[in-house]
Chains A and B, each alone.
Chain A
Amino acid sequence: MAAVNATSTIFDIAVIGGGLVGSSIAYGLRDRVGSIAVLDEGDVALRASRGNFGLVWLQSKGHGMGAYSRWTLGSTRLWPRLAAQLLEETGIDVALEQKGGLTPLMGDHEIEARHQWVRALMAQPGVEPYEWKLLDHHQAASLVPGLGKDVTGAIWTPHDGIVNPLKLLRAFHTAFDRSGVSYLPHHGVAGIAHTAQGFELTTPAGIVRARRIVLASGLRNGELGAQVGLRLPMAPQRGQIIVLERTRRLLDTPMVTLRQNDEGSWLVGDSQEDAGYAEHVTTLPVLATLADRAVRTLPALKEVRAVRAWSALRVRAQDGFPVYEQSSTPPGAFIVTCHSGVTLAATHALKLAPMIAEGALEAELAPFSTRRFHVQTT
């Protein structure tokens, strides 16, 4: 922990939130601004960063907002650079694999529905076209050894992949430690005030001052955004995940609902439930449906043991798309909200952070501002 007298310093930028979003931005801000602080809460907060699947995923993004598909494609292209940089700087290999990914489909109804959905996505304005294919069972089975016969089709794209999100977070934090970014845990921000020099953040550990701030507090961004004049309606969504014990490495092509880690453990997902903020429970029927589907996807997993299950809340704005905006009155507060903190980590570090350092978001991010929530429909 950097030994900083947080109450007397004025940081150039304070990032509120030490999860994947805040950390990737803070990482990218280094060498572009003077002093950086990352303010984090305690050990048991609504920590979305610990509840994620580790997918670097393109194919399901942007149905309803073409710009989101384009933004995501850009991030997948930047990921190798981020991974290499982190390895060189920290010695931590975040185990990035971009060998392609699948959405498994069971039965004609699912295939038809999903195929239409993808075609509609790709036809939207703002989408940069990319390679994707509808595979039949045999084609999919060549990528997934032992694929269950119930999986009669799959959507595949070469751009999809995985990374180890826990190693990623650790790599960011290690980089902070080595480059003088002040990581401040137990500094949950209760209030934001605007002053002549910038902003004053009230935390249980004292006041933190910064010329500019980045709101990357995940599920709290709605509440904090309001304090800088940004109206951001949030709709968190619970997802439950089952984690299986380590096995020998079998699966190289991740699926959106089933993948294997570099260490050999497996993740089974994913559910989408409206459960408010009740993220501390796992429920048997959902686990049963998740498990049932996973066994049908890969029958050999039937005997493999679940060692834990958890649920987490996706950080989601009301329409499910990211939010990037700078406050206007006062300026200098940047809000960053998304639920794909892993996929977008590369573009957050390598494209978004430089924009924030320069003091203005570029035009390509206009579709992501909160103005879209205030548009009156006729």
Chain B
Amino acid sequence: MFRRLDTPAEAGARVVRITIDDVATDCREGDSVAAALFAAGLPACRDTAVSGAARGPFCMMGVCYDCLVGIDGHANQQACMTRVREGMTVRRQLGAREVGA
């Protein structure tokens, strides 16, 4: 599990509300989606396209591509490279992405 430190800056930070798999979740302005996932107690964000194994963010710097999630209907977005926005919908990436036909 991860939690937020109780810092004064944190206390003053703007709250951003997103949904994670339809569950309303409060996070802070400036959070990456990955940080919001960790703070919400979710270390896993996808199932791999190869074997369906659970994965979560690993490097937090945009090089491992394990933090892929669906964001606002776009599949395979790097959670660690995307900042949260009010009303954002985040979805666990279930295997390979769909290609809308």
Contact = CB atoms under 8 A, between A and B. Distances in A.
Interface of A: 145-146, 245-248, 250, 264, 298, 300-301, 303-305
A246 B97 CA distance: 7
A356 B41 CA distance: 66
B100 A146 contact: yes
Nearest to B95: A248
B99 A301 contact: yes
Given A264-B49, A303-B74, A305-B76, A245 B101 contact: no
B101 A264 contact: no
Interface string B37-54: 000000000000110000
A303 B74 CA distance: 8
Interface of B: 49-50, 74-76, 95-101
A136 B74 CA distance: 32
Contact of B101 (A145, A246, A303, A304): A145
B18 to A, nearest CB: 21
B97 A304 contact: yes
B97 A300 contact: no
B97 A248 contact: yes
11 contacts: A145-B101, A246-B49, A246-B97, A248-B95, A248-B97, A250-B99, A300-B100, A300-B101, A303-B75, A304-B97, A305-B76
A250 B76 contact: no
- Name A's interface SS: loop
Given A145-B101, A246-B97, A298-B99, 13 more contacts: A146-B99, A146-B101, A245-B97, A246-B49, A246-B50, A247-B96, A247-B97, A247-B98, A248-B95, A248-B97, A248-B99, A250-B99, A303-B74
Nearest to B100: A300
Contacts of A145: 101
Most chain A C-beta atoms within 10 Å of own C-beta, residue among B50, B95, B96, B99 = B99
A258 to B, nearest CB: 12
A146 B97 CA distance: 16
Closest 4 CB pairs of A and B: A146-B101, A145-B101, A246-B96, A246-B49
A342 B42 CA distance: 46
Contact of B96 (A264, A298, A300, A301): A264
B96 A248 contact: yes
B95 A250 contact: no
Contacts of B95: 248
A218 B45 CA distance: 46
Contacts of A300: 99-101
B49 A304 contact: no
A56 B32 CA distance: 46
Contacts of B50: 246
B101 A248 contact: no
A347 B95 CA distance: 38
Contacts of B96: 246-248, 264
Most chain B C-beta atoms within 10 Å of own C-beta, residue among A146, A245, A300 = A245
